[in-house]
Amino acid sequence: MGPVNEVIVLLRKFSIGGVLLVALVLFPIFVFLFKIPLLRFPSSFYWFEVLLSTLLQAGLSAFFSVLFGIFGALGLCCVFPKYVKRGGVELFCLLPALLPPLVPVLAWVNVSEFFMHFPFSFSAVLVVHVLMNVGLVSVFFSRLFCTQTGDLSSWAFLHGVTRWSFLRKILFFEMRKDIVLIFLLVFSFCFTSFSIPLLVGGASGQTLEVFIAEQLKNPFTWPEAMALFLIETIFIFMLFSLLYGRGEKNVQIKDKKKLYLLPSLPFVVLPLLPTLLIFFGLADVFSSKTIWHDLSIIKLSVAIAGVQTVLMSVGAGVFVLFLLSAVAFCLRDLFLRRFLVAYSGASAAFMGFAFLLIGSDGPIEVLLKWSLGLSFLFLPALYRLMGESLLRRLKNQIQLADLMGAGKVMSFFKITWPQCASTFFFLSGIAAFWACGDFAYSSIVGGELGHLAMLIQDLFASYRFELATVLTWILIFIGMFCFSLFAGVAFVLRKKSYL
Amino acid sequence: MSYVKNLICNQGDFTLDIPSMEWPDEGVSVLTGPSGSGKSTLALALCGLKKVEKGFQWLFKDQDMALLSPPKRNISFLFQSLELFPHMNAEKNILFPARARRISKEQTQERLLILQGYLQLSGFLKKPVHLLSGGEKQRVALARALIVKPRFLILDEPFSSLDEKLKKNSIQLLKKILEWEKCPTLLISHDKEEIESLAQKVFYIRNGQLQSD
């Protein structure tokens, strides 16, 4: 009876709402489980080659991102104390990671076309992943250097330690855990990346996600797809379980310390370059004279696609807001929150096919499927981004409110929601912005509808980069509009509260 | 007298093990000991915020508190960090427990007036908590802890963040209000001055075990 009792105790610990919420997030797996009698590995070993290639791609992408990111951070450390405000530069560096992948990829392809035809291959996936992540890694390490190494660098400087010795023997050694942590984070992102290999991977750049999507196209190979998806999910789940709570350092910068031995100005080009290339790649298109004529031909489709993009994005934002609130209300249980942090999100392909299999494909249903599916896809990443740390900060307050006799509902509406609402609206704005640029998931569910990102991807696939770039500008404006709807509410809420 | 029996709380490599403990039903009892000795764990376990092993009993005024859920124990806890709700003003902070326990408005207002007098709160009741000084925050947290007339009060190093002068004033204020309220209190502290001024009984804890009464 021992183990049975333990299971009963464990089940009692979960709130019903929490279990339901997790079931909701995992529902694509359930949809396929009902449709698939058993799991099966593909008969040929091609899947294993794809797995190895994905591991190699993710490993190299993460390695180069971390390597360039650390040196980029040394450059950023040099810029910050003297010349400019930190927030603006950091946002500039983070743009490639924050923009929907379609936007930076198109810009970088445009830039590369000046010199050569863009190589749609394994190496292209690698380069795009590094360009997307190097700014993010640089910002992370620059904050870490500024907060953790101030006194250490002064001490080493006073003792005559050379810069290279300081970096090699002290700094990298001290930061080895953080280096491994950020490596694994970037690795997991590159391992599960779907839209980038789909855009630039070609035949040699196929990843496990793309392979799963291909298996899902044929109902006879669904058991294979399910088996591969479970392998991928369990692998990422284990990775994040290991990482849970280990990288929680305070990287809020309060005072400007002089950093001896660290700054190296030339390296600042590393985190800034990808964003500069995005602006350069997107700006060049306006020099073309035929572009406006081409645009006028498809203006009606663009207008319809634009309206559908707004509806889908706002819908995704609203659903994310609801899901984040549900998480805050239901998941007071550490185990379930840990699950959400560790869960990388269903693959876009899997989510797409799951939604394709349920309900009808009328325009309203498809719009709802787009919004709901994207909110499911974005939820784990957004929760990891800010949600988890926010809820952790409120732990003591909620415990105290419980002790004071406040019920779950009162705790949520009087303690949790007033302190989280602003952040939740902001995160919903990010979700709305990301949703604008999705084409991988929505093209699977699409039916007869099509939004702007799908139109851009069609143009991209047929090498009409100029027209695709003009539409990307429209996409960015729509994305900013949808983001500002939510961010505006977040701003008002923050102003109104004492926080 | 209040009796605690078989309080065992396992936390990985640390175990709090209190076979028995007793303290008077009124006045201030102090729990002292070095950092990491289990003082706060003991306090949290008494509140029901830490999981304890089966067999725990806490007989308090003819009732076994261990059988009650944490809210029903009606214990007020003052965290070291005070944990004031940052999105509320001082008054809303103080009134929160009364609203949570659905105490009538008239009763709450009456109680607030009394506490306002004792703790000199009137100057800053409408201020948001982030604008309050350390001493003011302390008084708001104390008022919040006392507004519902708790059965038992636990104070976890409440003066640790105050300077010497403010600490002296706060100790006097606490002494005055606890004498008037007659609320049995467990104070966690390792400050000699606090112990000498407030304690009626002192417990010393080390490595999760009580050393002597």
Q: B97 CA to chain A: closest CA distance, Å?
A: 5
Helix axes B105-119, B90-100, angle to 10 degrees: 140
Using one digit for the tens of pLDDT, what is the confidence trace for A364-397? 889 999 999 999 888 888 888 888 888 888 888 9
pLDDT (mean) for A226-232: 83
**A151: phi then psi, degrees, rounded to nearest 5:** -70, -35
Q: How many CB pairs under 8 A join A and B?
A: 58
Query: Quick one: which of A476, A431, A483, A452 has its CA closest to A107?
Result: A476
B83 touches chain A (CB under 8 A): yes
Using one digit for the tens of pLDDT, what is the confidence trace for A278-290? 988 888 776 677 7
B204 touches chain A (CB under 8 A): no
Q: Does the distance separating the beta carbons of A498 and B86 come in below 8 Å? A: yes
Is the confidence at residue A108, as pLDDT, over 50? yes
pLDDT at res. B51: 86
pLDDT at res. A63: 96
Is the confidence at residue B104, as pLDDT, over 90? yes
DSSP symbol at A442: H
A401 touches chain B (CB under 8 A): yes
- What are residue B57's DSSP bridge partners? B5
Residue B51 has which token pair? 């999981």
Delimit the domains of chain B by residue range. Answer: 83-150
Instruction: Please give the span between the terminal C-alpha atoms of chain A, in angstroms, as a whole number.
Output: 50
Query: Quick one: which of B79, B89, B144 has its CA closest to B111?
Result: B144
Cβ(A316)–Cβ(A423) below 8 Å? no
pLDDT (mean) for A156-178: 78
Window from A178-187, A313-322, A325-334, A367-376 with minimum mean pLDDT: A325-334
DSSP symbol at B89: B
pLDDT class of A1 with cuts at 50, 70, 90: very low
The Cα B26–Cα B24 span in angstroms is: 5
Q: At CA A480, angle to CA A478 and CA A486, rounded to 5? A: 110
Characterise A106 by phi-psi region: left (phi > 0), alpha (psi -120 to 50), beta (else): alpha
Residue A153 has which token pair? 């660098």
Query: What count of residues does chain B have?
Result: 213
Is the confidence at residue A262, as pLDDT, over 70? no
The Cα A143–Cα A254 span in angstroms is: 11
Q: Which of B77, B88, B97 sits opposite A405 (nearest CB)?
A: B97
Give the domains, in start order, of chain A with CATH numbers. 13-37+288-499 (1.10.3720.10), 44-287 (1.10.3720.10)
A498 touches chain B (CB under 8 A): yes
Is the confidence at residue A83, as pLDDT, over 70? no
Residue A408: C-alpha distances to residues A39, A333, B100, B145 (Å): 41, 13, 11, 20
Window from A22-36, A194-208, B70-84 with minimum mean pLDDT: A22-36
**B56: phi then psi, degrees, rounded to nearest 5:** -75, 135
pLDDT class of B212 with cuts at 50, 70, 90: low
CA atoms within 13 A on the CB side of B36: 2
pLDDT at res. A435: 94
Q: A260 CA to chain B: closest CA distance, Å?
A: 33
pLDDT (mean) for B122-147: 90
pLDDT (mean) for A79-88: 66
Using one digit for the tens of pLDDT, what is the confidence trace for A444-475? 887 677 889 999 988 888 888 888 888 999 99
Cβ(B100)–Cβ(A409) below 8 Å? no
pLDDT at res. A321: 95
**pTM: predicted TM-score of the whole model, two decimal places:** 0.83
Q: Does the distance separating the beta carbons of A415 and B85 come in below 8 Å? A: yes
Residue B103 has which token pair? 């105490």
- What are residue B3's DSSP bridge partners? B22, B59
The Cα A86–Cα A96 span in angstroms is: 17
Three-state DSSP state, B208: coil
The Cα A400–Cα A396 span in angstroms is: 6
Percent pLDDT > 70 in chain A is 85
Query: Quick one: which of B69, B32, B63 has its CA closest to B47?
Result: B69
Is the confidence at residue A336, as pLDDT, over 80? no
Interface test with A, best of B69, B77, B85 (most A CBs within 10 A): B85
Is the confidence at residue A498, as pLDDT, over 80? no
Q: What is the mean pLDDT of chain B?
A: 88
A403 touches chain B (CB under 8 A): yes
Query: Quick one: which of A189, A66, A68, A56 has its CA closest to A123?
Result: A56
The Cα B59–Cα A426 span in angstroms is: 49
Question: Please, what sign has the CA dihedral across residues A371, A317, A249, B37?
Answer: negative
Q: Are strands B185-188 and B28-32 parallel, antiparallel or unpaired?
A: parallel
pLDDT at res. B79: 86
